[in-house]
Amino acid sequence: MSSPGAHAGTATIAAMGLAMVPVLFAYSGWQTASFMSAELKDPAITLPRGMLIGVLCVVALYLAVNAVCLRVLGPAGLAATTTPASAIARLAFGPIGARIMAIVVALSTLGFLGNQILTSPRVYFQMAADKTFFRQLAWVDPRTHVPVVAIVLQGAVAAVIALSGRYDQILNYVTSVDYSFFGLSAIALVIFRNRDARDPSAPRPFFSMPGHPWTTVLFLVVAWSIVGDVLIKSPVDTSIGLGILLTGLPAYIIFAAHNRREVEAW
Amino acid at 59: V
pLDDT at 173 > cutoff 80 = no
Burial class (CB in 10 A: 0-12, 13-18, 19+), 4: exposed
Query: 54-66: string of b/e by CB count within 10 Å (b at 16+)?
Result: eeeeeeeeeeeee
Query: Using CA atoms, how far apart are residues 116 and 31, in angstroms rounded to an integer?
Result: 11
Q: Is residue 159 within 8 Å of residue 151, measured between CB atoms?
A: no
Find the DSSP H helices in 120-166. Answer: 121-129, 148-162
Query: Using CA atoms, how far apart are residues 30 and 5, in angstroms rounded to an integer?
Result: 39
- Model pTM greater than 0.85? no
Please give the pLDDT value at position 5. Answer: 52
Q: Is residue 205 within 8 Å of residue 140, measured between CB atoms?
A: no
For residue 178, the number of C-alpha atoms closer than 13 Å in the C-beta half-sphere is 20
Other C-beta atoms closer than 10 Å to the C-beta of 29 total 16
pLDDT at 218 > cutoff 90 = yes
**Sign of the CA dihedral running 101, 102, 103, 109:** positive
The larger pLDDT score, comparing residue 168 to residue 188, is at 188
Query: Using CA atoms, how far apart are residues 218 and 160, in angstroms rounded to an integer?
Result: 34
Own/partner pairs, 22-30, CB within 8 angstroms, 24+ separation? 22/171, 24/175, 24/178, 24/179, 24/226, 25/171, 25/174, 25/175, 25/178, 26/62, 27/55, 27/58, 27/59, 27/62, 28/175, 28/178, 29/112, 29/115, 30/54, 30/55, 30/58
Residue 265: pLDDT band with limits 50, 70, 90: low
Residue 4: pLDDT band with limits 50, 70, 90: low
Q: Is residue 54 within 8 Å of residue 263, measured between CB atoms?
A: no
Express each pLDDT in 36-71 by its tens digit.
787 788 888 888 888 889 889 989 988 998 899 888
Query: Using CA atoms, how far apart are residues 46 and 52, in angstroms rounded to an integer?
Result: 10
CA 228-122-107 angle, to 5 degrees, is: 75
